[in-house]
A and B are shown apart, each in its own frame.
Chain A
Amino acid sequence: MKVRKFLLRGAAVGFGAVVLTCAGTAVAYADDPDNHGNGDVNVDVSIPQITQPGVLAMSVAGTSAKLTEQGSTALVRQFAGKLPLVTVTDTRTPDQIPAGSAWYVLGSASDFTGSAGQPSIPASDLGWSPSIVGSDTSSGNVFAGQPVSTSSDGGQGLVDKELLSSTFDSASDTTPGAWTATANLTLKTGADVKPGDYASTLTLSLFE
């Protein structure tokens, strides 16, 4: 009697399971009126290697830098400004770059000449602190230059100082890439500077 009851129960459970499975499968394969079939669509694109030689290029935003007074004390007059963004793009493949070569952007300021014959402010009174802006590609081999302090702070001022530089390590592969740098400019003069308009020219040079 027990065996029969067990067999009956087992059959009922099995039949229910089969029915449920069939129903589930049917739901899964229900014909969705919007889809015609269940295949994936492959999207292929083949990007060809650039065969023309890459270049080392520089981009500069078109504005000049205006220095405005901030942080002056009774003994030192201080002005601050910002260098326009400078971007260096290197699209050369590693085999187009000679071994051991490195590119760099140097900044060199001229003396600030007064517009009305005032004594000029020497370029050593101008300092900066460069920084790399954002980074689309890894900047492991590209460095912002060291901060340069003004002569009143014991530094040498902004003459022949690096804004951005790279060193090429043949083991790593960081080209092609683009690196953007800017710098906070600081001008510190004595409080005895003659008031008026002054202008200087900051020359940024990209060489390799």
Chain B
Amino acid sequence: MLPEVRRRVRSAVAIAALCAAVVAGDAAAALAQGRPDPSPDAASPPASSAPATGAVSWSVQPATATGADGRVWAELTLKPGGSADQYLELRNLGKEPAVFSLSAADGYFTQQGRFNMLPAGVASKDAGLWVHIQPTIQLDAGQSAIVPYTVTVPDGATPGDHAAGVAASVTSVGLNKSGAQVGVVSRVGFRVMTRVTGAYRTSATGEVTGSYHPVWNPFQPGRVDVGYTLKNAGNTRVSMTARIRLSGPFGLGARSQKAPAVAELDPGESRSGVIAFEGVWPVGILTASLDSGVTPVLKHTATTRPASPIRISTSVPALPWSQLIVLVIAALVVLGLMYDRRRRQRSIRKQIAAAREEGRREVSV
């Protein structure tokens, strides 16, 4: 082939190869688009990889079939096997339409006395299963809806108070999952407290423990930490007051402090705390006692024994170790001094006797 033709063919082949490479690169890029982005781009705002979401704003309150009725939460009294139709009013107060998830779960009180309901990932065991409500609802901006729900008590339900909560929740948009992600589920709801008729029992138990923390300085008093636990052992809601007393042997030097009152404790729940008493001298065996009053939250007319108050105590050993050590050391020092003096006296006497002996010897010689 002529060199010129060869040159032309070579350049044509090169151009063809370049085009093929470009096309192949495009195809590869197109395929790559399909895979999720493996590494997050910290610079780009999250909204770029998810549908843009603004703030969602909503409210939930108990209602009748016609509208909100001003109740803060729902209190029902039903017999086993009974059911009640209830309503809640959900209002979308935001600027965009939103889809809300409606859910019900067992309710409980936190250690700080706040009502909460189980999160979505934890299964309910009690009254949370009695509440039936539609799973989702979509509302336009500014729209409100009266959503019905039913509370159905199973036939074998134990009498007494059962707590549940019902809420409307919004899940913030999940993003490309990489690293550590915290998805946020926000919910607004209220309590659904159901009292199942039957034999009510109002009772509570308590526990108290104490420990003495000494200070090694024998001239300074130590501290006693009294831990207490209050437990609702009945089947009705109770509120409790508690007072902790600390006294020395024979009841001397008694002091008391009020523990924070418990506004509501549901059946089976317990609340714990620690009360510290400062400036306590280690005088031997101290006594810490818990006095607790128990009041039912809902007054019931069924025949029940009134709740008896709790009165328990425990002994807290507070032995004066550092004072004893100081005394022992002082005694040893005194004994040592006495022994030393006696020894010195004995050696002086010996020296005098030896001197006298020598003097006698000198004289006799």
Which residues from A are CB-within-8-Å of B191? Answer: 207
**A79-121 to B contact mask, C-beta < 8 Å, 1/0:** 1010111110100000010100100101011101001000000
The answer to whether B116 touches A160, judged by C-beta atoms less than 8 angstroms apart, is: yes
The answer to whether A185 touches B182, judged by C-beta atoms less than 8 angstroms apart, is: yes
Which A-chain residue is minimally distant from B89 (CB atoms)? Answer: A55
Which residues of B from 34 to 62 have beta carbons under 8 Å from A? 40, 42, 46-47, 53-59, 61
Size class of the A contact interface (CB-based, 8 Å): 35 or more
* A-side interface mostly: strand
The answer to whether A199 touches B114, judged by C-beta atoms less than 8 angstroms apart, is: no
Given A55-B61, A96-B70, A67:B182 Cβ within 8 A: yes
- Which one, A33-41, A58-66, A131-139, is touching chain B? A58-66
Which residues from A are CB-within-8-Å of B180? Answer: 66-67, 79, 81, 112, 187, 197-200
The answer to whether A203 touches B175, judged by C-beta atoms less than 8 angstroms apart, is: no
For the complex, is B111 an interface residue (Cβ under 8 Å from A)?
yes
Bound: A126/B182 CA distance, A: 10
For the complex, is B181 an interface residue (Cβ under 8 Å from A)?
yes
The answer to whether B59 touches A198, judged by C-beta atoms less than 8 angstroms apart, is: no
From B93, B182, B188, name the one whose CB has the most chain A CB atoms within 10 angstroms: B182
Which residues from A are CB-within-8-Å of B94? Answer: 59
The answer to whether B179 touches A202, judged by C-beta atoms less than 8 angstroms apart, is: no
Which residues from A are CB-within-8-Å of B187? Answer: 203-206
Which residues from A are CB-within-8-Å of B165? Answer: 207
Contact of B47 among A63, A79, A187 (CB under 8 A): A63
The answer to whether A205 touches B116, judged by C-beta atoms less than 8 angstroms apart, is: yes
For the complex, is B153 an interface residue (Cβ under 8 Å from A)?
no
For the complex, is B206 an interface residue (Cβ under 8 Å from A)?
no
Instruction: Report B58 CB to chain A, min CB distance, Å.
Output: 6
Which residues from A are CB-within-8-Å of B173? Answer: 62-64
Which residues from A are CB-within-8-Å of B53? Answer: 62-63
**B181-198 to A contact mask, C-beta < 8 Å, 1/0:** 111111111110000000
Bound: A162/B177 CA distance, A: 27
For the complex, is B167 an interface residue (Cβ under 8 Å from A)?
yes
Bound: A85/B54 CA distance, A: 11
Which residues from A are CB-within-8-Å of B57? Answer: 57-60, 87, 89
For the complex, is B30 an interface residue (Cβ under 8 Å from A)?
no
Which residues of A from 4 to 59 have beta carbons under 8 Å from B? 53, 55-59
Knowing that A115-B177, A204-B185 touch, tell me 18 more A-B residue pairs with CB under 8 angstroms.
A55-B61, A56-B61, A56-B188, A57-B58, A59-B55, A59-B56, A60-B55, A60-B170, A63-B173, A64-B46, A64-B184, A66-B46, A86-B186, A187-B180, A198-B180, A200-B182, A201-B183, A205-B189
A→B interface (CB under 8 Å): 53, 55-69, 79, 81, 83-87, 89, 96, 98, 101, 104, 106, 108-110, 112, 115, 126, 160, 162, 165, 185, 187, 197-208
- 26 pairs across A/B with beta carbons < 8 Å? A55-B68, A56-B59, A57-B59, A57-B93, A58-B186, A59-B57, A59-B93, A60-B57, A60-B170, A62-B55, A62-B56, A62-B173, A67-B179, A81-B180, A86-B186, A96-B70, A162-B114, A197-B179, A198-B179, A199-B180, A200-B183, A201-B121, A205-B116, A207-B116, A207-B190, A208-B72
Question: Closest 7 interchain pairs by CB?
Answer: A62-B53, A59-B57, A57-B59, A67-B180, A55-B59, A160-B110, A65-B182
